[in-house]
Chains A and B, each alone.
Chain A
Amino acid sequence: MSASKNIVQIKEEKELRSTLEETSQAAVLYFWASWAEQCKQVESVVDDLATKYSKTQFFKIEAEEFEEISDAYEINAVPTVIIAKKAKILARVEGANVAEVVSQVASNCGAANGVGGKQPSADTKPEFKQDLNTRLKGLIERAPVMVFIKGTAAQPRCGFSRKIVGMLNEQNIKYGFFDILTDEQVRQGLKEYSDWPTYPQLYIKGELVGGVDIVSEMIASGELTEMIPEGSLAK
């Protein structure tokens, strides 16, 4: 995967300073350290976001290498993602809170990239919610066996999603998938709709079966194959 032009690993402090001074748009600053395991997760999300929000400048900053910058932004922990506009900090996300990173970038950088931007207050209107529920139902029923994962079936972006896809493939099950990293509305909405707080989520014939732990146990006991409709088992 080739890196986008709008994302740089800074080698000098002035790289950051000059860009921030020049642009009136929000920029994303990602602070990392090689000893913090969690950074890998956040880094891959930051890379993805850079591709999606191509008009926004993303900076990768090795926190301990650039102490002055880290101090200026009051970095206490890594990974930390800061969204800044000139000298102002618009948002700060500490730790591997991938959902929050995606949400904040969408909120603050969306408009500049023409991708929706801040969630309208229409969110809470009943008609909007009804439309969302209809949409979610449609997605869940899109295939007899449907899995909601982080990433794609070919390239899962999380250990648990990778595991569930692996298990379904091993059992020769034909399934549809939805990448919840591409749609924050579905990602949050589905948790509420199904009263299930995490991903991945497996549905069979429109009904929630569970996450990776449950699916794993059901495969071991033979229960899962019994639930799979005939057309979805590859011969």
Chain B
Amino acid sequence: MVTADEIESLIQTNIGDIHKIQIEDVSGGCGSMFNVMIVSDKFKGLMRLKQHKLVHQALGDKMKELHALTLKLYTEEQYQKTVSESAEAADKSQ
């Protein structure tokens, strides 16, 4: 069983430069399935596969305790883009 705090701590320590991070336990409190969103420029220039592997490595042994992990990874630029795109969409739908 893993906690959201442990995950956040490992990512802050092992990746660093975290602009924004959101972690959600979607296993009903069992600490086995998480949705994780991270915004960091450490992901810049890395292929998606490499970005995900960075997170797996940051979690180290804890990875083995997890049953499932859903990752949404962004660089700061990419994140700003999605924020403004959804703001635009919200405006349009009014």
Contact = CB atoms under 8 A, between A and B. Distances in A.
Interface stretch (B8-16, B67-75, B86-94): B67-75
B26 to A, nearest CB: 10
A198 B68 contact: yes
Query: Is chain B's binding surface mostly helix, strand, loop or mixed?
Result: mixed
B49 A95 contact: no
Interface stretch (A60-68, A128-136, A205-213): A205-213
Nearest to B71: A213
A210 B73 CA distance: 14
B78 to A, nearest CB: 10
Contacts of A195: 53
Contacts of A214: 48-49, 52
A61 B57 CA distance: 39
A11 to B, nearest CB: 28
B27 interface: yes
A195 B69 CA distance: 15
A19 interface: no
B32 A96 contact: yes
B45 interface: no
A37 interface: yes
A96 B27 contact: yes
A160 B68 contact: yes
A98 B27 CA distance: 14
Interface string A91-115: 0000111100000000000000000
B56 interface: yes
B1 interface: yes
Nearest to B56: A197
A162 to B, nearest CB: 13
Contacts of A25: none
A152 interface: no
A193 to B, nearest CB: 14
A38 B70 contact: no
Contacts of B70: 160, 212-213
Interface in B1-60: 1, 27-28, 30, 32, 48-49, 52-53, 56
B72 A213 contact: yes
Contacts of A217: 48
B28 to A, nearest CB: 5
A198 B72 CA distance: 16
A143 interface: no
A95 B32 contact: yes
A218 interface: yes
Nearest to A195: B53
A211 B52 contact: yes
A57 to B, nearest CB: 27
Nearest to B28: A37
Interface of B: 1, 27-28, 30, 32, 48-49, 52-53, 56, 63-64, 67-72
Interface of A: 36-38, 95-98, 160, 195-198, 208-214, 217-218
